[in-house]
Copies of this chain bind each other. A is one copy, B any other.
Amino acid sequence: MYEWSNPEMLARLNSTSGTVGFNKWLQPRALAAGNGMVEIVVEVRDDMRQHHGYVHGGCIGALADMACAWAGAANEGRDVVTSNFTVHFLRPAQGTTLRAKARTIRSGRTLATVEAEILVETPGEAPRLCATALASIAVLPEARPRVA
C-alpha cells in the first residue's frame, strides 16, 4: 500500500518511540516511513482535547512537529531535531483519529525542509484536513539513529 515505505526504518521508529516520555503519552504509530516521508496516526483521547471538545492545537502542533522530524529522519537515517516549525490551523479537529502525512521537500547537508498535513478522521466519515505545517529539521552531525 505504501510503496515508498522502508520496513526496517518503520520498525525501528515504532519499536523505540513508544518507550520514551512524551511519545509514550502521545502514542504515535507510524504506518509508513521512508524516502523522506512518514505517515503517523494517533488515537484521540480525552486528555488531548480543549474546552470545546476538539483536539487541542498544542497536540496537533506536537504531532506535526513529530511527523516532520520523523520524515527528516526517514530521509537521512540520522538523528535529527526540529529547528523551527509553523502550523496553520484550518478547522476544528473533531474526530477519533489524527493522521499526519509528512514529506521532505528539500534535504540539505545540515537541514531538511518538511511539510505536513494533519487530518482528523471519524469512522464512516471523510477525513478532514485540520492543519498544515512547514518545518526546518536540523540533521545532527553524529550518525545516531533517531528513536523518538
Contacts and interface: CB of A to CB of B under 8 A. Distances in A.
Given A84-B136, A113-B132, A58 B26 contact: yes
Contact of A61 (B21, B51, B62, B110): B62
A59 B62 contact: yes
B129 A132 contact: no
A62 B51 contact: no
Interface string A1-34: 0000000000000001000111111100000000
A72 to B, nearest CB: 12
Contacts of A50: 20-23, 148
A41 B37 CA distance: 30
Interface size class of A (residues with CB under 8 A): 35 or more
B59 A22 contact: yes
A56 B69 CA distance: 12
A39 interface: no
A25 B47 contact: yes
Interface in A56-99: 56-59, 61-63, 65-66, 69, 81-91
Interface of A: 16, 20-26, 46-51, 56-59, 61-63, 65-66, 69, 81-91, 105-106, 110-111, 113, 115, 129, 132, 134, 136, 138, 146-148
